[in-house]
Amino acid sequence: MSTAPVLEVQGLVKHFPILGGLLQRRVGEVRAVDGVSFSIARGETLGLVGESGCGKSTIGKVVLKLIEPTAGRILLGGEDVSSLKPGAMWAHRRRIQTIFQDPYSALNPRLPSGTLVGEPLENFGLARGAELGERVAKLFERVGLRPDAMRKFAHEFSGGQRQRLGIAKALSVNPDLIVADEPVSALDVSVQAQVLNLLIDLQEEYGLAYLFISHDLAVMRHISHRIAVMYLGRIVELTTKRALFEGHLHPYTEALLSAATAPDPARRKRRRRIVQGDVPSPAKPPPGCHFHTRCPYAIAECRTLAPPLIEVAPGHHVACHRRPVGGGPHPLSTTV
């Protein structure tokens, strides 16, 4: 696996204005993403996980340049695309594609499936005529669909087959990075496994990088190499999959894992950590550490000073004032 980053996100911020009054003046802002940084290497999957409303889908949209960032930098293959206008961004569109959550609403119901998958090839001038048909047929076979289904329309496919169409469409232009926003959440569990295994096989074959967005920790455990845990617009923990599940360091990560279904009997015996209270509004986030209002380990410093995301062990970053110092044991490590 290459260590050269396909995607670098540096200090990404996205605030949405709140308008009010007769003249619809700006009266506040929703801090959807509040200073997020990460990178993804070729052939790597970075999972973004967190509760609904934490900002993970907004990050995906900003990375895709579907919405503009408020601040920060987005680098694709080392090139800064943060401030590019739509016309200038066209040259970079081939390098980054997406797989949507709802495969049906993402597919034009008026066009045959073969035309849908072949559209990106035509748009970028990569294939025409007979060559286009041949390439689309190969894409259908590669994602597990019969080439004779190219004449069918989206409503004639099952949910899993529609998602395979979406994968074929994203794959058609040989991208470097695919942003997958909850791509299996609308599918049955057995079909989820099939689609996830297909994505893993495609990654190994083509060296794809994935930004995989999900709230499901079991899915993350299956497909991710590294996982970033988000809470209220910030990354609170970023580490490898194994380190997250076996040696997590942030209280919010502890709560997420505790709430997840545990097939391991040893985990079921451990005391479940219930987080009290509701998620604060992103329009009025708490000062200091955003999680301090619900954290059972909060100290005075947590209420006034936002903890930076610090590397406390090789490849393991955590934003917590109670992080271990000098590689020693974390105060939470014996409580889970």
Q: What is the pLDDT along the chain (336 residues), one digit of tens a residue?
A: 445 699 999 999 999 999 988 888 888 899 999 999 999 999 999 999 998 889 999 999 999 999 999 999 999 999 999 989 888 898 899 999 999 888 778 888 999 999 999 999 999 989 888 999 999 999 999 999 999 999 999 999 999 999 999 999 999 999 999 999 999 988 888 899 999 999 999 999 999 999 999 999 999 999 999 999 999 999 999 999 999 999 999 999 998 888 875 555 555 555 556 677 788 899 999 999 999 999 988 999 999 999 999 999 999 999 999 865 444 444 554 443
Examine residue 168 and state whether it is found in any structural domain, yes or no. Answer: no
Owning domain of residue 255: 225-336
Residue 256 domain-assigned (yes or no): yes
Confirm whether 332 is domain-assigned: yes
Query: Does the pTM exceed 0.85?
Result: yes
For the chain, how many structural domains are there in total?
Answer: 1
Phi, then psi, of 89 in degrees rounded to 5: -75, -15
Answer whether residue 275 is part of any domain: yes
Classify residue 83: in a domain, yes or no: no
Residue carrying the six token digits 């708490």: 286
* Count of residues making up the chain: 336
